[in-house]
Structure 1
Amino acid sequence: MGNTALDARQALSRRFLGDAVAESRKRLFVFTDGVYTHERLGNGSRDADSLRVVSQSAIVRSATADEGLPGSNLGGPVATEYVEADDLGSLSWAIGDAVTAFERSASLDAGELRLCFDSLSPLVDEHGDQSVRRFLSVVGGRVKSVSGMAHFHLSASSDDPRVDELADSFDAVVELQVCDGTPEHRWRFPDRALTTEWMAL
């Protein structure tokens, strides 16, 4: 599906993140591939009070306003914390610290915090379903504690066993497909055994 599928993912992600220009948003991005670009961060302010990044990397760096990894195009400094690539505990701790930093800058309204996690696939491959479920419980609990919203990417087909193993960790599972060149999405609600029809994105 190539670039069309990637564009669909990014479009849906932007929808979940909301309009960071017109509305107050605290955006937290978590990347598990060690590299990210300015385009993946979307629009809106990139000061440390509004945007933070947690990134897994083989090379651990201190929490800092980083100017980007080699080969990245961040378009300027972004508050970034790097954690060990194989340490789920450190990753959940860093996410919690980022949420706390947002809380220190201002009280958070419901839905103001938006977390984008890209992607769960390396974690499942490395740690297995059960460890990732525990990790999701901790991270989800922290996001809910400030009435925030989070979405997590998983590169897998809908019939992949990993999807069913992790589905009940979420309020909804959103599937993407490209039909005749048109990106579509549908929602599945595990607790209600309900699945919507495919809708154009």
Structure 2
Amino acid sequence: MTSELRFRGSGANPRFSKWLANLKQTGSNILLTGEVPDAVSARASRYLFGSADRRFRVLALTDQTIRNADTRLPTDTSRDAPETWVIDQRSGERSVPATARGFMPDSDTLQTDDAQQLCDEVQAAISFYAEETDGLDPAELRVGVDSLFPLVREDRATTERVLRTLCATVRGVQGMAHYHLRVPDDDDLVTELGDLFDARVELRKRPRRNPEQRWHALDIDAVTPWMEL
């Protein structure tokens, strides 16, 4: 049976803490679920992108319902920073470091809902930062994809294949990636895609309450209580 674990605080379960620390050291891919407002998805992204003196962020956008892409980035950075690489399939635009031109994929045009192209673009960004830094340290690279639903709707088989490739690439540089899928956590799609990821974070927003998250630690078959995001 799945066990209930404390996420933070003096009573934190050491088994969960060890599992979380291992994700940061070995690389991880995290699926975000839950039918939540755009602002909650943005807050989750900021939390997972994190703040640090040396961090490299790749943000890939596909979902036309996103109102403000910049809200997904921490307040101490922007899409124009050299440590940030934005791939926006919604508008067909990129925002990349000036020195990254040699790493750009061959295609000049970003196509809407093209999973393979999105993967190629993210891999180009990862290759650039890995070379620029002469090797990334664990958890320095952070990737966010928002969201998977347009890609799955367009071509389910290709999206699943691409996710396997992308997840392996992120783990290969000990990075951390998060992927939004705005459907209920008990949706069949979550079950079918769940094995591709190392963890799942369920989001919810109840009336007159702050957004909350609940982590599903798949390797150790455990789940945290609901806690404020």
Select the residue among 63, 71, 87 that pairs with 1:33.
63
2:194 match: 167
User: Residue 83 of structure 1 aligns to a residue in which SS?
Assistant: coil
**1:45 offset after TM fit, Å?**
5.5
SS in 1 for 2:163: helix
Is residue 116–residue 159 contact of structure 2 (8 Å, CA) maintained in 1? no
C-alpha distance in structure 2 between counterparts of 1:181 and 1:82, whole Å: 42
Aligned AA (2:191): D
Maintained 8 Å contact 2:203/2:211: yes
Structure 2 stretches of 5 or more lacking a match?
1-35, 98-103
Show CA shifts across 1:26-49 (max 9, x none). Answer: 000000136754333333264563
Which moved further from structure 2: 41-50 or 87-96? Answer: 41-50
Q: Cα distance 1:49–1:82, how it changes in 2: closer, same or farther (>3 A)? A: farther
Deviation of residue 24 (structure 1)? 0.6
Count of aligned residue pairs for this structure pair: 180
CA distance 1:65–1:95, change in 2 (3 Å): closer
Question: What per-residue deviation string (whole Å, max 9, x for no partner) do you get for residues 130-172 of structure 1?
Answer: 4322111111111111111000001101121111111111111
Q: What amino acid does structure 1 have at the position aligned with 2:159?
A: V
Contact between 2:213 and 2:228, CA under 8 Å: does it hold in 1?
Answer: yes
Q: Structure 1-normalised TM-score? A: 0.77
Q: SS of 1:186's equivalent?
A: strand
In the alignment, structure 1 residue 56 sits paired with structure 2 residue 89 = yes
Per the TM alignment, residue 14 of structure 1 is displaced from its structure 2 partner at its CA by 1.2
What does 1:185-200 align with in structure 2 at a 5 Å threshold?
A: 185-200=213-228
Contact 1:56–1:82, Cα closer than 8 Å, also in 2: no
Provide the residue aligned with 2:154 in structure 1: 126
Q: Which amino acid aligns with 1:197?
A: P
Distance in 2 of aligned mates of 1:85 and 1:162: 21
Cα displacement (A) at 1:113: 0.4
Gaps of 5+ in 1: 67-78
Contact 2:42 2:71 in 1 (8 A): no
User: Shift in Å at residue 181 of structure 1?
Assistant: 1.8
Pick closer, same or farther for the CA change 1:82–1:37 going to 2, 3 Å: farther
The 2-side partners of 1:65 and 1:12 are apart by 23
Give the whole-Å Cα distance in 1 for the aligned partners of 2:210 and 2:82.
Answer: 37
Q: 1 or 2 for the larger relative contact order (CA 8 Å, sep ≥6)?
A: 2
TM-score (normalised: structure 2): 0.69
1:108-119 superposed matches below 5 A: 108-119=136-147
Q: 1:86-101 to 2 correspondence within 5 Å? A: 86-101=113-128
Q: Deviation per CA, 1:99-147: give whole Å up to 9, x if none.
A: 111123213111100001100010111112x432211111111111111
Name the SS of the counterpart of 1:98 in structure 2: helix
Residue pair 1:167, 1:190 contacting (<8 A) in 2 also: no
- Percent identity of paired positions between Structure 1 and Structure 2: 35
- Counterpart of 2:61, as a letter, is F
